[in-house]
Amino acid sequence: MTIQSMSKMPSVGFAAGMWRVIKSIALLRESWVGMIGAFLVLFWILVAVFAPLITQFDPNASIQPYARPGTLSASGSIFWLGTDHLGRDILSRIVWGSRTVLFYAPLATLSAYTVGILMGLMAGYRGGLVDDILSRISDIILSFPVLVLYIIVIATIGASGFNIVIAITFASSPGIMRIVRGLVLDLRNRDYVAAALTRGESDWRIMLYEILPNARGPLIVDACLRLGYVIITIGVLGFLGLGLPPPDPDWGGMVNETRQMAIVFPYMTLFPCISISSLILGFNLLADGLREISLRD
Amino acid sequence: MTDTDEPVLVCKDLCISYYTRAGEIPAVVDFSLTVRPGETIGIVGESGCGKSTVAMAIMQHMGANGGIKSGSITFKGRDLTRLNEEELRSIRGSEISMIYQEPFASLNPSLKISTQLMEVPLAHENISKAEARERSVQILRDVKIADPERVMNSYPHQLSGGQQQRAVIAMGLLSKPSLLLLDEPTTALDVTVEAGIVNLIADISEKFNTSQIYISHNLGLILETCDRVFVMYSGEIVEEGTIKSLFNSPRHPYTHGLFSCIPLITTDKNAAPLKPIRGQLPLPFERPLGCYFGPRCDHFLQGVCDQAHFQMKTVGGEPDHRVRCLRYEEIDYKQVVSNTETKVSPEIGKRVLDVDGMKKYYEVKDSSLAALISGKSVRYVKANEKLNFTAHESETVAIVGESGCGKSTFAKVLMGLETGTGGEIRHNGKEISHIKVRDRSTEQIRSLQMVFQNPFDTLNPSHSIGGQISRVIRQFGVETDKKKVFDLVMTLLDTVKLPRDFYFRKPRQLSGGQKQRIGIARAFAGNPSIVIADEPVSALDVSVAAAVTELLMDIQREHKTTLLFISHDLSVVRYLSDRIVVMYLGHILERGTTAEVFAPPYHPYTEALLSAVPIADPDIIKRRIVLKGDLPSAMNPPKGCPFCTRCHRRIGDICDLELPSEQLVKDRHVIKCHIPVDVLSRIEPVIRKPGESDLNHA
């Protein structure tokens, strides 16, 4: 029998894991909303990966100011989306800017999740004083308007890519902690946790191995949504001048630099705005799709 | 009730399907049923056989993806499948009422009982509020609620489970329905409360002349409430008949199998082992050709049973008894029965567990101002009060009691999840009740393991079966070498009779019974000396439960393990245990060997518990004892004997004021009661068979 012979095979952990991931992505086909989201996100990932192949100009080079979209450059290439007031090619800046967003946004989300999950696990599983302290800390952070928090943090530690990650981690991990804590409060009363306790497992093993994997469903959906917010945040920080220091391309910064000229040269602000919106929309639709699939069956 | 009466409900050739992404799922096939006025019909079957679907179809409440494919449901001459929403609304709740399993879920928690009851006549009849109130109080009195005015002014959470279910039944009866559907109305209740509700249900048809359809998985309950019974298997009726003819001579192999799966209170594990039905219920799209039961049937005949689907046949001589089996006349069950094997009881070894005056109190802090002023800011819930008992090697000790009696608390202290407040628990002579599980040695942890109640919760859904069992083996240091661990997991899978490729499966790919087997494998991985089984089969279907129970017994026999079996079901307990500990509100009221506990002298509570057990044997004569009231709260237990508030043998004020001391009846048989032992000895037994003067002494 084939099944019997299969059982003799050694454990196939990694391959089986990858196969499961592929299968769950294939499930997404059944939600057209999710498919559109996945398509948008995939589009920007490809753009970021193949940036050097797509662009024909140095994103920071001043070539020809105020060129309208479609203008032929001196080198013979076309400024498809025009140039800005400093003569930089907008398409190249958007394409290279996508690398910034797609590097810092997931990094910030991951960092916020790591901190939030650890806090939430501790608060939910240990309970008592640990819970009280962690919950009050998060209440205090959450009581500030988010924007004020960003300004305070970045003004204190300075504007840079990694400081943006720190600011976002600081401001969003309390929210994640709340979600994780709620899930843990439910999951810790399951019999499999009691079974782990009765065989003397350590607290950390129970939290990370017995509880956390079972909270992943809602967390993945939330992570997708939060990734969208983080992209907005990075855009807003760029717009406020708290983002990446110039001249490196940054979508929010591009909008900020050209907004006073938006009436005369709308394309300078419009295209970076569209880029931001489409990526956020992509992540939000993807989250919707994932939720739809997880609710089914 | 005469034959000329027009039937209340006729279901004819009903086929019901659910439509899902995977396609059409035929849930119920070819279902016919007639309910005459004042009659109680029982529908019995295991989960997934379509009993609830039938009830939902009669209510015409199928949800978005269900539909009646063919057939008709005629209620008092009107075809329900053809009525529109408006007409259905006037029938539902007034002419047909339904009572669900969870009383708490059927009552709106934010409305008073009075509002919810009065709503029924106000919605369906044109009467005044005062009149509606009067009728509501009357109906509460009819369902034997002691204090109807207080209940009227209560919110659902202020009532106990039994009172809630009575209120729900009252609500169902308020509109004087012609048909009452009861879907497992007592499954969520304790046995002694259940006994009261079952009594009430049995009286309804007489009192209100209401026809009833009683859906249950418990043949014993069906026997006590119904006139006729329908046995369902995999979406179709396999056998129907009057209680008398079906219980006395079941014709279908499945019905027969069901009876052999139930531990009867008159047998035990060594004299008559349970005979589980092999295999599993087929999924609707995996049903075989011909007889759906074919693959699990011992009397399956190739070329006969696997041909075209066949109809019900009337059993000769019994007009109401019909069966869906081609070979029912040929099968001789008597011959099969005589082949039962008997098992030898294992030798009881040395003493391994000593519970000596163990106490567990929980502190409850009351931070209200009144409590602070009076200085009583800390109160205690006495979950366990001076427990004394012992257990030996290879012995099965059952801990019996209703919810809230403290049996799970005891398990927690024993496992080291909580620490005891006083007294001692000695395991092989070593005190363990004050040592948390983390501070115990691997050896101690390994030798004390647990099988959990809920099969859907006992395994971590995120990890593979193999991973979870291997973890236990490595954690206990039984084996460390990867290859050897793998081999040991394979051996364990063999032991619990599961295929080896389950190693790679995730828990969601397993059925409830299979999960429970893995739970058993996990508990026995470290070769423990004591295993606590907390209602391990109560969530499983009878045929599966029988197999799991047998498995547990076999492994125990082989490993000489001491099994502490926590349960509320006395028939299972009688079947498998050597000794019984009866608990009530944290106290042990009686303890002794199984034979001693099941025969007089009984503690009055044991007597009531025995009487509450539904027995699926029409020959047995049972004395009915229905306890009044509900379990008192553990926060505020009675001062004297814990059982005094409900006891039917109360002898006077001494019961209310003084905690009775333990009376030694015989060596290790102890009763905690004020009534002298020789008085208790003269009580006539609760259960007996006709022709035998005293079954339990036989």
Banded model confidence at residue B252, pLDDT cuts 50, 70, 90: confident
Residue B513 has what pLDDT?
Answer: 84
Residue B340: how many other CB atoms lie within 10 Å: 12
The token pair that represents B153 in the structure block: 């002014």
Nearest CB to B503 within list A7, A197, A214: A7
B positions 434-453 inside 8 Å of A (CB): 437-438, 440, 442, 445, 448-450, 452-453
A274 vs B185, higher pLDDT:
A274
DSSP for B467-489, written as a single string: HHHHHHHHHTTS--SHHHHHHHH
Bond before A247 cis per omega within 30 degrees: yes
Reported pTM: 0.82
Query: For residue A14, what pLDDT is reported?
Result: 63
Q: What is the pLDDT of residue A5?
A: 38
State whether A198 and B453 contact (CB < 8 Å): no
pLDDT for A180: 95
Tell me the chain A residues in contact with residue B450 when contact means C-beta distances shorter than 8 Å. 194-195, 198
Separation between Cα atoms, residue B218 and residue B262, nearest integer Å = 9
Q: Measured between alpha carbons, how far is A232 from A252 in angstroms, rounded to an integer? A: 9
> Integer distance in angstroms from the first to the last C-alpha of chain B?
42
Whether residues A198 and B445 touch (CB distance < 8 A) is answered with: yes
- Cα-Cα-Cα-Cα torsion B189, B191, B194, B199, nearest 10 degrees, comes to 180
Q: Rounded mean pLDDT of B186-194? A: 78
Could you tell me which chain A residue has the CA closest to the CA of B515? A192
Whether B3 has a pLDDT exceeding 60, the answer reads no
CA angle B351, B355, B358 (to 5 degrees): 170
B188, β-bridge pairs: none
Q: How confident is the model at residue B690 (pLDDT cuts 50, 70, 90)?
A: low
Query: Could you tell me which of A114, A106, A76, A81 has the C-alpha nearest to residue A95?
Result: A81
Cα separation of B441 and B435, whole Å? 10
Choose among A6, A191, A199: nearest Cβ to B472: A199
Partners of A296 on chain B (C-beta within 8 Å) are: 21
Among A198, A209, A210, beta carbon nearest to B449: A198
Q: Which chain B residues are Cβ-neighbours of A195 within 8 angstroms?
A: 450, 452, 458, 519, 522
CB A230 within 8 A of CB A151: no
Tell me the two tokens of residue A296: 């089914």
Q: How far is CA A51 from the centre of its chain?
A: 20
Beta carbons of B578 and B395 less than 8 angstroms apart: yes
The rounded distance, in Å, linking the Cα atoms of A30 and B459 is 30
Q: What is the DSSP letter of B692?
A: -
Q: How far apart are CA B693 and CA B695, in angstroms?
A: 7
Q: Where are the alpha helices (DSSP H) in B267-406?
A: 333-337, 369-374
Q: Which of the residue ranges B58-72, B365-379, B660-674 would you say has the lowest mean pLDDT? A: B365-379
The per-type count for chain B, helices as H runs and strands as E runs, is 24, 26
In tens, the pLDDT along B329-360 reads: 777 666 555 445 666 666 777 888 888 888 88
Q: Is A292 helix (H, G, I), strand (E, B) or coil?
A: helix
Distance CA A274, CA A261 (A): 17
What whole-number distance in Å separates Cα of residue B48 and Cα of residue B603? 40
Residue A120: closest CA among A185, A192, A203: A185
Q: Please name the member of A11, A195, A201 whose beta carbon is closest to the beta carbon of B452.
A: A195
The pair of structure tokens assigned to B161 is: 């489970």
Least confident of B98-112, B193-207, B494-508: B193-207
**Residues A105, A102: Cα–Cα separation, whole Å:** 6
Give pLDDT tens digits for B413-442.
Answer: 888 888 888 888 898 888 888 888 888 888
Please identify which residue in the block is written with the tokens 């002579």.
B429
Mean predicted confidence (pLDDT) in B555-577: 86
Q: Which stretches of B512-652 are DSSP H helices?
A: 512-524, 542-559, 570-576, 594-597, 604-612
Q: Hey, is B152 helix, strand or coil?
A: helix
- B465 contacts on A by Cβ (under 8 Å): none
CB of B518 less than 8 A from some CB of A: no
pLDDT at residue B537 is higher than 90: no
B98 membership: H or E segment, kind and range: strand B96-99
Q: Which two tokens stand for residue A8?
A: 């003799």
Contact by Cβ (8 Å): B241, B255? no
Residue of B nearest to A208 (CA): B462
Q: In what order do the strands lie in the sheet with B448-451?
A: B448-451, B530-534, B562-567, B396-400, B579-584, B587-593, B669-672, B662-666
B50-61 pLDDT, tens digit per residue, is 888 888 888 888
Contact B445 A192 (CB under 8 A): no
- The complex's ipTM works out to 0.79
- CA dist B664 to B390, B589, B647, B667, B673, Å? 15, 12, 21, 7, 11
Q: Which residue type occupies B634?
A: A
Chain A CB contacts of B460 under 8 Å are 192, 210, 213-214
Closest CA to B559 of B496, B498, B502, B474: B496
Nearest CB to B522 within list A11, A195, A209: A195
- Give the strand pairing for B530-534 and B448-451: parallel
Is B504 close to A194, i.e. CB distance below 8 A?
A: no
Q: pLDDT tens, B644-688?
A: 888 888 888 888 888 888 888 887 888 888 888 888 888 888 877
Instruction: Pick A198's closest partner by Cβ from B417, B442, B459.
Output: B417
Window 376-435 of B, Cβ < 8 Å to A: 415-417
Going residue by residue through chain A (297 aa), what tens digit of pLDDT does each one get?
Answer: 333 434 344 344 566 667 767 776 777 777 888 889 999 999 999 999 998 888 888 888 888 888 888 888 878 788 888 888 888 888 999 999 898 889 999 999 999 999 999 999 999 998 889 999 999 999 999 999 988 999 899 989 988 888 999 999 999 999 999 999 999 999 998 889 999 988 888 899 999 999 998 988 889 889 988 998 998 888 888 888 887 777 677 888 888 888 888 888 888 889 999 999 999 999 999 888 888 877 665
CA distance A125 to chain B (A): 14
Per-residue DSSP letter, B509: G
Report the distance separating Cα B382 and Cα B635, nearest Å.
7
Contact predicate B387/B410, CB 8 Å: yes
CA B468/CA A205 separation, integer angstroms: 13
Rounded CA separation A162/B413 (Å): 50
* C-alpha B2 chain-centroid distance: 35
Contacts of B461 (CB under 8 A, 6+ apart): A214, B506, B507, B508
pLDDT for residue B697 is more than 50 = no
Residues in B touching A16 (Cβ below 8 Å): 504
Chain B contacts of A186, Cβ < 8 Å?
Answer: none
Closest-CA distance, A111 to chain B, in angstroms, reads: 24
- Helices B129-142 and B113-124 cross at an angle (nearest 10°) of 120
Q: Residue length, chain B?
A: 698
Distances B412 to A128, B383, B417, B544 between C-alpha atoms, Å: 20, 11, 5, 27
Which chain A residues contact residue B415 at CB under 8 A? Answer: 197-198
Give the gap in angstroms from C-alpha B438 to the nearest C-alpha of chain A: 5
Any idea which residue has 């989306």 for tokens?
Answer: A81
B244, with CB counted inside 10 A (0-12, 13-18, 19+), is: middle
Q: Which residues in A lie closer than 8 A to residue B501 (C-beta atoms)?
A: 3-4, 6-7
pLDDT of residue A166: 93
B564 in contact with A, Cβ within 8 Å? no
Residues 6+ apart with CB under 8 A from B508: B461
Q: Mutate which of A191, A193, A297 to test chain B, going by most B C-beta atoms within 10 A?
A: A191
How buried is residue B402: exposed, middle or buried, by Cβ count under 10 Å (0-12/13-18/19+)?
A: buried
Task: Give the residue from chain A lying closest to B413, CA to CA.
Answer: A198
**Which residues 210-229 of A have a C-beta within 8 angstroms of B?**
210, 213-214, 216
CA-based nearest distance A71→chain B, Å: 53
Is pLDDT at B177 greater than 70 in this prediction?
A: yes
Cis amide bond preceding B601, omega within 30:
yes
Closest CA to B396 of B609, B552, B601: B552
Helices marked H in chain A? 2-7, 13-27, 32-49, 51-54, 90-126, 128-142, 146-157, 161-187, 191-198, 203-205, 216-239, 251-258, 266-295
Strands (E), B626-686: 662-666, 669-672
Distance CA B133, CA B367 (A): 39
Query: What is residue B341's predicted lDDT score, i.e. its pLDDT?
Result: 60
Asked whether the beta carbons of B140 and B148 are under 8 A apart, the reply is yes
Please spell the DSSP secondary structure of B449-470, one letter per residue.
EEE-S-TTTSS-TTS-HHHHHH
A80: left (phi over 0), alpha (psi -120 to 50) or beta: alpha
Among the residue ranges A13-17, B234-238, B291-295, B541-545, the one predicted with the least confidence is A13-17
Kind plus residue range of the DSSP H or E element containing B656: helix B653-657
